[in-house]
Chains A and B, each alone.
Chain A
Amino acid sequence: MQCELDIFFLEAVLNGVLLAGLLALLALGLNLIFGVIDVVWICYAELVMIGMYGINYAYKAGAPFLAAALFGILLVALAGVLLHQLVIRPVLDSAPINQLLVTGGVLFVLQAAATVAFGIDFKTLGIRLGSLNVYDMSFSYSRILTFAVASAAMLLLWLFLSRSYVGIAIRAIAQDRQIMPLMGVDHRNIYLITSGIGGGLAGLAAVLMVVQYDIYPQIGLQFGPLIFMICVLGGLGSMIGGFIAAFLISEFIAVGGSCFATEWGYAIAFLFFMIVMFIRPQGLFGGKA
């Protein structure tokens, strides 16, 4: 154990902050969907995986990175809309466990389909952005870029939800879906828009992840449980809760990993999650368990 309040500890703390940007972005999409439609997309990380493959093939087909990134975002946004229309909509009035199971089914279908279609090889774009060295601390540029883009995306989403009429409708429908039609709102359209935005956020996360991680069919397993834990810890549906929980968990992972070992960082994070669930089952900012 090497846990001292030195520059390496500070480096771990700051790397935790940078990791939190990506996790907060991932949690934001999932929370948006749950907050508005009341359904958990348990296959959210698999949508990210689809986006990563899409960007990979577009980039390797000769598209500039930004064009490939845009393609990836639109691809996953479309996947989100299709997921809602084809899978979620038929079970909207079913029991929550059925909704969870059906999106769980999509998770395995996507993983299996990706394995068949793309193979089990790890793929990479081969983009290396290098590191920023400050004193004896080192920060990956890809993580800094990820943090900046994720923060900007969250700010833009906040502006959209607070300033636009569609954004106001999304916030309103999260509270009372039944009264919306009497105000002229077709809630089915709002659900589709929300699913598109949720998918688009997963696509953006895919863009940020392809410059940091290898692509393989099971990458969702690396992030899926973590995103779900962050959302539950913050309070399912609470975007602010998810944001704060992402920072808490990231710090446990980064600092715990620095002081002990990476695996211990995850173990401490999940232990903290379990303790909070015992004390506050609805999560830190949640209204219902």
Chain B
Amino acid sequence: MPLLDVRALSKRFGALRAVNEVSFGVEEGEILGLIGPNGSGKSTTFNCIAGLYTPSDGSIMFEGAEIAGLTANRVCHRGIGRTFQIPRPFRNLTLLENVALSAFFGQDRSATRQACWAQAEESLALVGLPTDGRITLDGLGAAALKKLELARALATQPRLLLADESLNGLDHREMEQAADMLGRIRREKGIAIIWVEHIMGVLMRVVDRVVVLDHGEVIFAGTPKAAQENARVIEVYLGTETDA
């Protein structure tokens, strides 16, 4: 049984079918790349899984239980964490408070106060950010804010991480480091990851499989190598994006 099993997922906004009968699965400890051109339905699919949107049709099974239609905080409690393409940190909180909030509210509420602070520090350390409780967000660059976003999601102790364009806005060296970091998180914590990205080169190096969306439908599912050789994928996506 896959960790996450998305079956015939559809999401309509009025007459627009943003996602149309999308199906895919994610195994334990797997990194799945979810790719596609702008408007292909990647973010809508993400938002349905994370509980931000209620699916119009279809099923989302996580660890054998239906989560479609659950509120975002309940999805988080079930063990699914999510990052945003554009980091949305709380600038009136310290770095550690930003992450501690996730540690306390995002996981088992029986965790002690000390355990939550420790979890927050561990998450910060895992992404390479300082754990000093006095550090504010002043002066943090794009890469550090991306790391903070990741640390906040990790502090909820997810078994599945939804990483939304984690490389966006980073330079080439930072992209390589971020990709390595996601690979390390998978190895060290055993967390499965769905990684939405449009920067193909780095993504293909780290993911186990890719699912390619176009106009809200799955047009390919398989290995990165097979994706790069698939004519339909090349036509709608790779032909333009990988050359860039």
Q: Does B156 contact A (CB under 8 A)?
A: yes
Determine if A61 is an interface residue (Cβ-Cβ < 8 Å). no
> Would you call B88 and A168 a contact (CB within 8 A)?
no
Q: Within the complex, which residue of B77, B84, B116 is in contact with A165, where a contact is CB–CB below 8 Å?
A: B116
User: In the assembled complex, how far is the CB of residue B231 from the closest CB belonging to chain A, in whole angstroms?
Assistant: 37
**CB atoms of B71 and A183 under 8 A apart:** no
What per-residue 1/0 map shows which CB atoms of B53-67 lie under 8 Å from chain A?
Answer: 000000000000000
Known: A165-B100, A168-B97. A181 touches B90 (CB 8 A): no
Q: Which applies to chain A's interface (DSSP): helix, strand, loop or mixed? A: helix
Q: A176-B90, A182-B82, A183-B152 are in contact. Are A169 and B105 (CB under 8 A)?
A: yes
In the complex the two chains form, is A184's CB within 8 Å of B71's CB?
no
B33 at the A interface (CB under 8 A): no
Q: Give CA–CA (A182, B156) in the complex, Å.
A: 9
Check: B216 CB closer than 8 A to any chain A CB.
no
Residue on A with the closest CB to B104? A165
A183 touches B101 (CB 8 A): yes
Is B173 close to A, CB under 8 A? no
CA distance A175 to B89 in the complex (A): 9
B76 interfacial by beta-carbon distance below 8 Å: yes
Interface residues of B in 56-110 (CB under 8 A from A): 71-73, 76-77, 81-82, 84, 88, 90-93, 97-98, 100-102, 104-107
User: Is A3 part of the contact surface with B, judged by Cβ < 8 Å?
Assistant: no
Interface membership of B134, Cβ < 8 A:
no
Q: Count the A-B residue pairs with Cβ separation under 8 angstroms: how many? A: 65
Report B-chain residues with C-beta under 8 Å of the C-beta of A165.
100-101, 104-105, 113, 116
Determine if A156 is an interface residue (Cβ-Cβ < 8 Å).
no
> Contact check: which of A168, A174, A176, A181 meets B73 at CB < 8 Å?
A181
Within the complex, the shortest CB–CB distance from A38 to chain B, in Å, comes to: 15
B76 lies within 8 A of A172 (CB): no
Inter-subunit contact A172/B90 (CB<8 Å): yes
* A214 on the B face (CB < 8 A): no
Please indicate which of the listed interface residues A172, A181, A186 has the most CB atoms of chain B within 10 Å of its own CB: A181
Query: How near does chain B come to A102, taking the closest CB pair, in angstroms?
Result: 25
Q: How far is the CA of A181 from the CA of B100 in the complex (A)?
A: 15
Kindly supply a per-residue 1/0 record for chain A positions 115-154, scoring 1 wherever the CB is within 8 Å of any chain B CB and 0 otherwise.
Answer: 0000000000000000000000000000000000000000
Give the number of chain A interface residues (Cβ < 8 Å): 16
The answer to whether A184 touches B105, judged by C-beta atoms less than 8 angstroms apart, is: yes
Decide if A184 touches B100 in the complex (CB within 8 Å): no
Please judge, given known A-B contacts A165-B101, A169-B101, A182-B82, whether A175 and B91 are in contact too, CB under 8 Å. yes
CB distance from B172 to the nearest CB of A (A): 29
Q: Does B101 lie within 8 Å of A168, measured CB to CB?
A: yes
**Cβ contacts under 8 Å, B211 to chain A:** none
Q: Judging by beta carbons under 8 Å apart, are B156 and A168 in contact?
A: no
- Residue of B whose beta carbon sits closest to that of A176: B88
Interface membership of B212, Cβ < 8 A? no
Please give the distance in Å from B53's CB to the nearest CB on chain A: 12
With a CB–CB cut-off of 8 A, which chain A residues contact B50? 182
* Residues of chain A in range 174-233 having any CB-CB distance to chain B below 8 Å: 174-176, 179-186
The answer to whether B224 has its CB under 8 Å from any CB of chain A is no
Q: Which residues of A contact B77 (CB under 8 A)?
A: 184
User: Is B76 touching A184 in the complex (CB atoms < 8 A)?
Assistant: yes
Residue among B73, B82, B88 having the largest count of chain A Cβ atoms under 10 Å: B73
* Chain B residues with CB below 8 A from A181, complex form: 51-52, 71-73, 76
Asked if A172 meets B101 with Cβ closer than 8 Å, knowing A165-B113, A182-B82, A183-B156, the reply is yes
A183 close to B51 (CB less than 8 A): no
Which residues on the B side are within 8 Å of A168 (C-beta)?
93, 97, 100-101
- 17 CB-based A-B contacts, threshold 8 Å: A165-B101, A165-B116, A168-B97, A171-B92, A172-B92, A172-B97, A172-B98, A176-B90, A179-B88, A181-B51, A182-B50, A182-B73, A182-B82, A183-B102, A184-B102, A184-B107, A185-B105
Binding site for A on B (CB under 8 A): 50-52, 71-73, 76-77, 81-82, 84, 88, 90-93, 97-98, 100-102, 104-107, 113, 116, 152-153, 156
